[in-house]
Structure 1
């Protein structure tokens, strides 16, 4: 490419000239005369001389105005910066005060717990004596430190303040000698304090190192316990006896494969944590300060990240914002890896328990099948013996049945003869009784007619009473229906108001979400290669560059259960839903009627459980 030697101003001027319309310039004698007159200093009324002093004054005024405006802008920027700094410091103070109150409450709580722990009687005498002796030793050391270090410093400070305020210059001739002596005494005290503080800092560093070593040992011990727990076989499976050794060995081998997968993933997480810890740029003390600052600012605080980054830049002025953001990313990665590792261990514990339960159930079922097979063999032998006994009993029963049939035939013939004789006697008696019955029937008819009349009168009276009662009941029913209708309308209005309120809340929530979405929207740069290339979804749909995903929690067995349509078609569920909609699911009627409703299809007899009948 060729670049022109002209500047950007000339290029813009040429472009502006190109955009102008075409002009035809005519030169005549008048223009030549004008040039001639100007050269010969022949003045005209149209053209006046330029006042350069006035122009310089105008330019100076413009410069002064621009300088004052620039100064005002600088002052405004400085005031805005100071106000921003003051608001940040104010927010920091609020957070510091809340953290101070929280730490003070935690301190009081811990002190009360320590006192209650020391006052308990279940602690051993040796441990209690050691703790009390250590507390007494610490209190004595504190008293000696206050007596030997703090009190002399306070006395010296008070003496210096007194001399500063009450001793006037040139009032005493020996003031120079006294000032030199005081300075020597102050230097001596500073040296003593420096040695004391160095000794205390060394002791503090030694205690912190001991505590860090103990914490590392505890963490290593817990990690070793977890890894040993992953590698060890469960005692429940080893202690159970199985009549089929192949089944038990296959279960143990399956458990070993199951644990090896989790061990590999746990090692990957540990390596990832080591890499993140190795790449961390801050030291342990700086990282502790960093974590303490992050813990001061709660997660629901507005502008939390801005506040703690500002505080970190104040604590670490030698670190840039980029380094702090990188360390924040490393901390997030480390925390995410720790959470994933804990989730992996929790999933392993859960799957281990499920595997042990299923393995124990399979071993118990194997023992039960073995016992069932042995009992079936015994039952078969007993059944053959019973068949022989039953065959003999059947032959004997057949002989008894033939004898019983012969005796029943003889008895039935004798009974038939007796019944014929009784029938003849009964016909004779019936003829005599008919005449008497006719007389009794006439008397009975008269009494019956009288009773019917009395009953009709009584029924008419009862009918009138019932009509009155029904009229009163109908009035009560109308009032009750009216009350129920008003109650139903009131409930419907409340439901409509609740629905409108919920819709308004949904709209408000959607509006806030849209505002948040606009705030965090990503503005992607123009990338034609990425735009024209295949997406991950299209590759996944076409099956390109996709590895088969390993399903970690794949179920061991397929379950055949009811679908949604079968559950909804159950009359028991539908009746219960109707009662709930009417608000009657807690009444006595619901308690009585729900157990009486039968399912759509009665359960099969072979599916009936016998667990609770044993």
Structure 2
């Protein structure tokens, strides 16, 4: 089998001129017998190699399917764990909301009782002057009418719900105790009764809401909004010069003019501050850009979740998102910021008004004291001529002390 491959070249004079001895040694390739055997075997086997076995596609497909099934099972377990964690978190949040409401409900009941007691006390304190005082008798008759109307409303709305609840509790107790199965027709009657009561309650709530809107519109038409927006203090007396100063019989006109100018300066200083605060309040309305109902619900929700409640901020945000699903978290935070700024501005308005009233009263007391002192000094100087110069000097020093304030 041993043989060698003989390469024959036709050498021409031109070829010898180009190829030298080094190039010839590089070009000549030697082949061994083993290489020929390997080449013969490879040509015999074709393109495939005997070292590699054919792929078992069915077995590989089974392995892939098993891995895919295992992955799906793991994904289902993860999803189930997530759902369980979400449900646990939801139950925990609802439990905390119930705790807040259980604390808020007694407070509202006490406030309702207090308001009713105040109304009854006010009505009891009203006594007619004589038999012709028809206003008091009208109020008493109206009170009796409201009590009868409330009792009629309770019998027509609350009593059916209580009876239905007692009937359902009795039926459930019998089923749990005796393990009896009721007839399908009987359950159909119960379901019909429940649906009837639900529809009745929906109609009652709709009527009450319509009456509430009508009453609210009537109250708004009275024009009481300006009294709610403005400050409770009356600033009319503060803007004017007190009559005690303006029409006083001060023997020194310079002192009187200076006091009048001081009152004017005090009014101008506080009026500029109040005007700035009022302009800030006018940038938004009473309800901070929301509807009145939404703003009132927003205020009531914030009042429930006070700072002494653990995790009050997260609970309040969660409840607001439940009450206003159409609003984003950013919109809720922005509304709260505007409302906080409005309350802060109103508080500043009350503080500035209180300071103005306090400074006005102090200035008036000092002015009256000075007028009394100058009048007393003038009367004394009229009887004692020797002390006239000293009293005049004392009054001038008093006026100079006023100018230094």
Q: TM-score, normalised by structure 1?
A: 0.47
Which residues in structure 2 correspond to 1:231-380 (within 5 Å)?
231-238=239-246, 240-277=248-285, 280-371=288-379, 373-374=381-382, 377-378=385-386
In the alignment, is the contact (CA less than 8 A) between 1:262 and 1:348 conserved in 2?
A: yes
Tell me the equivalent position of 1:228: 236
Tell me the equivalent position of 1:91: 96
User: Which structure would you say has the larger RCO, counting Cα contacts within 8 Å and 6 or more residues apart?
Assistant: 2
**Aligned partners of 2:387, 2:59: CA distance in 1, in Å?**
134
**Aligned partners of 1:115, 1:282: CA distance in 2, in Å?**
36
Structure 1 residue 291 displacement after superposition: 0.7
Give the secondary structure class of the aligned counterpart of 1:276: coil
State the superposition RMSD in angstroms. Answer: 4.5
1:71 matched to 2:76? The reply is: yes
User: 5+ residue gaps in structure 1?
Assistant: 1-28, 170-174, 382-554, 559-614
Query: Which stretch shows the higher mean deviation, 68-77 or 289-298?
Result: 68-77
**Aligned partners of 2:76, 2:229: CA distance in 1, in Å?**
66
**Aligned partners of 1:103, 1:54: CA distance in 2, in Å?**
73
In structure 2, relative to structure 1, the CA distance for the partners of 1:123 and 1:236 (3 Å cut) is: farther
**Aligned partners of 2:235, 2:298: CA distance in 1, in Å?**
31
In structure 2, relative to structure 1, the CA distance for the partners of 1:191 and 1:110 (3 Å cut) is: closer
Give the secondary structure class of the aligned counterpart of 1:263: helix
In the alignment, is the contact (CA less than 8 A) between 1:266 and 1:344 conserved in 2?
A: yes
**Aligned partners of 1:248, 1:101: CA distance in 2, in Å?**
60
**Aligned partners of 1:89, 1:77: CA distance in 2, in Å?**
18
Give the secondary structure class of the aligned counterpart of 2:224: helix
Tell me the equivalent position of 1:108: 113
In structure 2, relative to structure 1, the CA distance for the partners of 1:143 and 1:64 (3 Å cut) is: same
Q: TM-score, normalised by structure 2?
A: 0.67
Tell me the equivalent position of 2:137: 129
**Aligned partners of 2:54, 2:384: CA distance in 1, in Å?**
136
Give the secondary structure class of the aligned counterpart of 2:80: helix
In structure 2, relative to structure 1, the CA distance for the partners of 1:271 and 1:213 (3 Å cut) is: farther
The total of aligned residue pairs comes to 340
Q: Of 46, 63, 81, which residue of structure 1 is paired with 2:86?
A: 81
In structure 2, relative to structure 1, the CA distance for the partners of 1:296 and 1:154 (3 Å cut) is: closer
**Aligned partners of 2:75, 2:309: CA distance in 1, in Å?**
38
Tell me the equivalent position of 1:510: none
In the alignment, is the contact (CA less than 8 A) between 2:127 and 2:136 conserved in 1?
A: no
In the alignment, is the contact (CA less than 8 A) between 1:230 and 1:263 conserved in 2?
A: no
In the alignment, is the contact (CA less than 8 A) between 1:276 and 1:333 conserved in 2?
A: no
Tell me the equivalent position of 1:399: none
**Aligned partners of 2:247, 2:138: CA distance in 1, in Å?**
44
In the alignment, is the contact (CA less than 8 A) between 2:100 and 2:304 conserved in 1?
A: yes
**Aligned partners of 1:67, 1:286: CA distance in 2, in Å?**
46
In the alignment, is the contact (CA less than 8 A) between 1:298 and 1:304 conserved in 2?
A: yes
Q: Which has the larger radius of gyration?
A: 1
Structure 1 residue 292 displacement after superposition: 0.9
Tell me the equivalent position of 2:20: none
Q: What do residues 306-364 of structure 1 show as CA deviations (whole Å, max 9, x unaligned)?
A: 11121112112222222211111111111111111112112212222232233333334
In structure 2, relative to structure 1, the CA distance for the partners of 1:301 and 1:269 (3 Å cut) is: same
In structure 2, relative to structure 1, the CA distance for the partners of 1:303 and 1:219 (3 Å cut) is: same
In structure 2, relative to structure 1, the CA distance for the partners of 1:268 and 1:248 (3 Å cut) is: same
